[in-house]
Amino acid sequence: MSKPTQWIVGLNAVASALEHDAENVREVLLEAGGKNPRITEIEQEARRKDIDVRRVNQQALDGVAGGVRHQGAAARYAAARTWDEHELPALVEAAEGRALLLVLDGVQDPHNLGACLRSAAAAGATAVIIPKDKAVQINATVRKTSAGAADILPIFSVTNLSRSLRELQKLGVWIYGLAGEADASLYAIDLKGNVALVLGSEGDGLRRLTRDNCDQLVKIPMPGNFESLNVSVATGVALFEAVRQRSA
């Protein structure tokens, strides 16, 4: 049975799909007369990999983009691999005591999720875990904002986030939830081993059950005395503190 397809749009998203997962790109649409030199580069790369390329007018691209800014490029893409929860233990084990997991508890904005995935990929995260309910899922906007990270990261969409956290604890993963009211500083915590960093939604932060299943709550110190950071910014800060410690 062939995989279902969807449209991914934007120069970065299309270029990344061609670079990392060309076998799942079914065709590429590019704006006729588009002046951006990257459009030509994408066309050449697609043709090198024997992928159908069509030059179309802007209206055709607008139609497949569904309101997302396409920058003159779109690709029909076989749905990315979906990861089953039962595969997570093997990923943690393969990390040999240095698993770095990002858990997002109810992020609503696809731009925020895409930016979080981009940071996770740049930090070399082992996997990202999101809940299936009351949270944005991987869509065209997320793919575009993630600049390809959504196609290369193992992303687990789980039915019961609290249960998943408990399962991670059984695997020897220490769960740190980020909360502004916490006493402990993120920078005072050892992040070198098996670690999951848990961040909450844009408005409400961590849900109560999620908090209850964290080993410890920590905060990002903010000398400016501002109330909170955007979730994607906080994600980048937390992940790269772990990267800093692991490379020290």
| Residues annotated as catalytic (active site), given as ranges | 31
Distances in Å between the Cα of 124 and the Cα atoms of 2, 49, 193 are 31, 27, 14
Cα separation, 58 vs 73, in Å, equals: 10
Closest alpha carbon to 144 in 37, 231, 70? 70
Binding-site annotation: residue ranges for S-adenosyl-L-methionine: 200, 220, 229
End-to-end Cα distance, the chain: 48
Distances in Å between the Cα of 133 and the Cα atoms of 81, 160, 208, 244 are 19, 9, 16, 33
The interaxial angle of helices 37-48 and 11-21, nearest 10 deg, is 20
DSSP SS3 for 188: helix
Structural element, H or E, at residue 238: helix 231-247
**Are 25 and 52 spatial neighbours (Cβ–Cβ below 8 Å)?**
no
**Are 11 and 39 spatial neighbours (Cβ–Cβ below 8 Å)?**
yes
Binding-site annotation: residue ranges: 200, 220, 229
Cα separation, 147 vs 170, in Å, equals: 33
How many DSSP H helices and E strands does the chain contain? 10, 11
